[in-house]
Amino acid sequence: MEKTLPPAGKLWLVGAGPGDPDLLTLRAARLLESADLVVHDGLVGEGVLALIPPHVERISVAKQRSRHTMKQELINELLVRETLAGKQVVRLKGGDPFIFGRGGEELDAAREAGVACETVPGITAAAGCAAQAGLPLTHREDASAVSFVAGQCKDLTDQDWSGLAGHGRTLVIYMGLATASAIADKLIADGVSPGLPVAVIERGTTAEARVLRTLLTDLGDLVAREKVKSPALIIVGKVAARADALDCLGAPGVAAQIRDFT
């Protein structure tokens, strides 16, 4: 008598975009409909989570600075175990899985376990939030290069960011709120002008979006005084002065505000 083989599972690393569910890709939306299990981060927008059908199992593995619901190694084990059990597993991540999302680590774990895995890209926060703020990351007059860095990292002062900010460049800093003052000091010490424009985009693409403009030398004071909350991006460069068109996406219900402290 032949044995019945278990159904073949598959792991999908899916980008949820920067928050607004209208910015989710069609493929991502279809996968949420057909999934057996969705394992999601804390940065995934509530509107996106609302698209998950009630019958689909959901597990939150939300992370905050210095406090994790589940360590990354355990997340990897969970994804592999559930996929090997024959489930269609969607690993839903804010933004894009491969931009500060640890998607590469989870892909490595899947490959090592022989698990079928596919990645579905999402709009990264830098692109989505900057677009809502009317802030072009590159511009023929202001910037021909753009760099993404993580502000929440060990030994920040030892990170080599030389040449990433300044004339003709835009620097986008993810997870930089807690170290905003140190980031400003570091860039200025590296030769970046203290008067370079900076934009801080809080909860970009959502109805609670705020865009605050200041100068690099005042970045730390601004973040503290305005009590900026995560998730937020810090954009350093001349293009930051162009942030002034918050309705450019035409998102319904978005009542974002811009404040200029330059």
pLDDT in tens, 166-197: 899 999 999 999 999 999 999 999 899 999 99
Q: How far apart are CA 234 and CA 219, in angstroms?
A: 9
pLDDT at position 8: 82
Instruction: Give me the catalytic one of 10, 20, 36, 41.
Output: 41
Instruction: Write out pLDDT tens, residues 200-230.
Output: 999 999 988 999 999 999 999 999 999 999 9
> At residue 28, what are phi and psi to the nearest 5 degrees?
-60, -45
Mean pLDDT (the chain, rounded)? 90
Secondary structure of 245-258 in the HEC alphabet?
Answer: CCCCCCCCCCCCEE
Q: What b/e string do you get for 148-165 counting C-beta neighbours within 10 Å, with b at 16 or more?
A: bbebbeeebeeeebeebb
d(CA 93, CA 85): 22
Q: What is the pLDDT of residues 4-35, one digit of tens each?
A: 556 789 999 999 999 999 999 999 999 999 99
pTM score: 0.88
User: Does residue 238 carry a catalytic annotation?
Assistant: no
Residue 74 pLDDT > 50, yes or no?
yes
Token pair 């002034």 is found at 244
Q: What is the pLDDT of residue 207?
A: 87
Determine contact, residues 226/203, Cβ cutoff 8 Å: no
Record the tokens describing residue 126, joined without a space: 């830098």
Residue 106 CA to residue 119 CA, distance in Å, equals 11
Considering only CA atoms, which of 256, 90, 94 is closest in space to residue 175? 94
- To the query of whether residue 218 is one of the catalytic residues in this protein, the response is no
- The angle at the Cα of 192, spanning 189 to 197, to the nearest 5 degrees, equals 130
What phi and psi values does residue 59 have, to the nearest 5 degrees?
-130, 125
CA angle 99/39/127 to nearest 5° reads 25
Structural domains in the chain, sorted by start: 10-120 (3.40.1010.10), 125-260 (3.30.950.10)
Tell me what the mean pLDDT of segment 92-107 comes to. 97
pLDDT at residue 250 in the model: 43
What is the pLDDT at residue 249? Answer: 42
Report the SS3 class of residue 35. Answer: coil
